[in-house]
Amino acid sequence: MKLKSLDHILLLADNLEATKDFYVDVIGLTAGKRPDFRFPGYWLYAGDRACIHLAERRNKAGGAGGDTFGGRGSTGPIDHVAFAVDGFDSAKAGFDRRGIAYEHKKVPGAPLQQLFIKDPNGVSIELNFPA
């Protein structure tokens, strides 16, 4: 086996629409084609790649609001999701305009600066900008 690349992550959302809107309006992904699964969700694209799959968080009885999905059980927390991004100043201005709190870091010894924000489910989003 030879790993080629990260394909996608599945995020389980407490509020599916708010989470989709965050990744589309704030992060800049595009909601696109998704198979006709028996449960609601979205596939969010960066270019032609569906990199984030969204579904509602479900409990063991199949209702919303629990920690399991598809009968597989919880995989635990995701620490963060990282994106390579251009447009540092416009990103900061957009977060300020929307009232989104962020943390700014510079990577020691590398020409890289980062902004960290939270999605509606508390997942940390790391945005990496060339310095």
Output the six-digit token pair for 38.
């028996």
Average pLDDT, integer, range 114-121: 90
User: Do residues 32 and 58 both lie within one domain?
Assistant: yes
Structural domains in the chain (count)? 2
- Mark which of 44, 76, 108 sits at the end of a domain: 76
CA distance readout (Å), 9 to 6, 55, 89, 98, 102: 8, 11, 27, 25, 22
What range does the domain containing 60 cover? 1-76
On whether both 69 and 95 belong to a single domain, the answer is no
φ and ψ at residue 9, rounded to 5 degrees: -125, 150
6 and 69 belong to one structural domain: yes
**Would you say the C-alpha torsion 51, 26, 41, 118 has a positive or negative sign?**
positive
pLDDT per residue over 68-96, tens digit each?
A: 455 445 555 566 888 989 999 999 999 99
| CATH at 27 | 3.10.180.10
1 plus 64 within the same structural domain: yes
Distances (CA, A) of 70 to 74, 82, 115: 10, 25, 33
User: Same structural domain for residues 7 and 58?
Assistant: yes
Q: Do residue 67 and residue 86 come from a single domain?
A: no
Residues 38-71 pLDDT 10s = 889 999 999 999 999 998 887 544 444 444 455 4
* Residues 69 and 84 both lie in one domain: no
Question: What is the model's pTM?
Answer: 0.76
Q: Which amino acid is at 58?
A: R
